[in-house]
Chains A and B, each alone.
Chain A
Amino acid sequence: MQVLLVITGSILTVAVLGLLYRIITLVGIAKGDSQKRVGTSNKINAFLFPLVLLVGLGATAWYSGIAKEYFLPEASSIHGVKTDELFWLTMSVIGVAFLLTHLLLFFFPLIYQYNEKRKANFYAHNDKLELVWTAIPAMVMTVLVIYGWQLWSDITAPAAEDAVKVEIMGKQFAWELRYPGADKELGAYDVKYVDGINSMGIDFNDAQAMDDFTYREIVIPKGREVELRIRALDVIHSVFMPHFRVKMDAVPGMPTRFKFTPTKTTAEMRAELGNDKFNYELACTEICGKGHFGMRKIIKVVEPAEYESWVAEQTAWSKQNADYMSSTWAEKHAKTKLAKK
């Protein structure tokens, strides 16, 4: 029944369009459109361009006012504040370029619409003009490139020695985290050690791994440089921490890094936004399969002192999984030693 309705509807629509088509054509012939170069439509089209532009600009201005409140709040990292500045600077530059070009592009149709009595200006080239509008964008680009390049170099520079290290591993469809223990260094890992219990493949042949601990959330201190050590277990994922303006792919077989310094604790953000349920979040931004849209982690930014005491409270993974260590890893240690001999 539905199918029949759809078919009937389609046929009727086409029939109506066909009729319309014929009528337009016949009216056109009756009015002698074909003798004239342009008809009334030319005026209407000429007029619509500036009209559409003005309405569009108005709507954009109006909606931008509303949309602003849905944008992310001010960046909560040092570099984020700077890239935001560059973003809005670039936005204003391109905004001006957009306005200038579009005012010309959309008002020329109105001003220079066809007029039988007029002849167009045979104006084919002007090298000076070409030079000017090559040079101006080139100069603007140079400024933006230098600005951006400086920020980029700072952001991607190696992290400080004493940066707080956090390892984050993406897998379908979750993130896992590992923190260094008292030695402040993460131990080695290898995908071949991954099993049902040691889900991150921590390599306990490395003594530095013994005090590493895992946790369900990202906990980092405010005001200290944090280095994310990023990797993936199966396919490419991407670490996106929107409030910190942080993004870096997690690639199987190729560990990546990103360093940043958080500037506001979760509590401070809650107060600032007046939202006591606010949480910093981490999302995946590289398509990774069915559960791509649900790979969420909560990030807790705390005061440095709170961070230290939290670290002190944690139990090393190797201690939490003593059984596993004594069974599986005892064997592996033995094998490694054999192999070394």
Chain B
Amino acid sequence: MILCLNIDDLMILGCNIQVINIIKSFLSKNFNMKDFGHVDVILGIKLLKSNNDFVLTQSHSIEKILKRFNYFDMSIVCIPFDSFTKLRNNDGESVSIYIYSYY
């Protein structure tokens, strides 16, 4: 039996459903809790279960991030990091986003 607790999110994992139910009723007697049933999204990670495998995905939060920073309507590339790009310490001034938007 495994109990994952992160601030106010709680997840109970186990093989025996009766033991899980006993733990749930015991905890809800002592604490003010809400039961959300089977785990769907925890800590921003979505859990999907199919016949053959488990999948952890964050598609919804990627979409949210892309929309929040206005990058949603961009073309797609296949490589996250171009090895020819040299990232070195910037000795000059910082470039503000407003100036950058003119490039």
Indicate, yes or no, whether A interacts with B. Answer: no
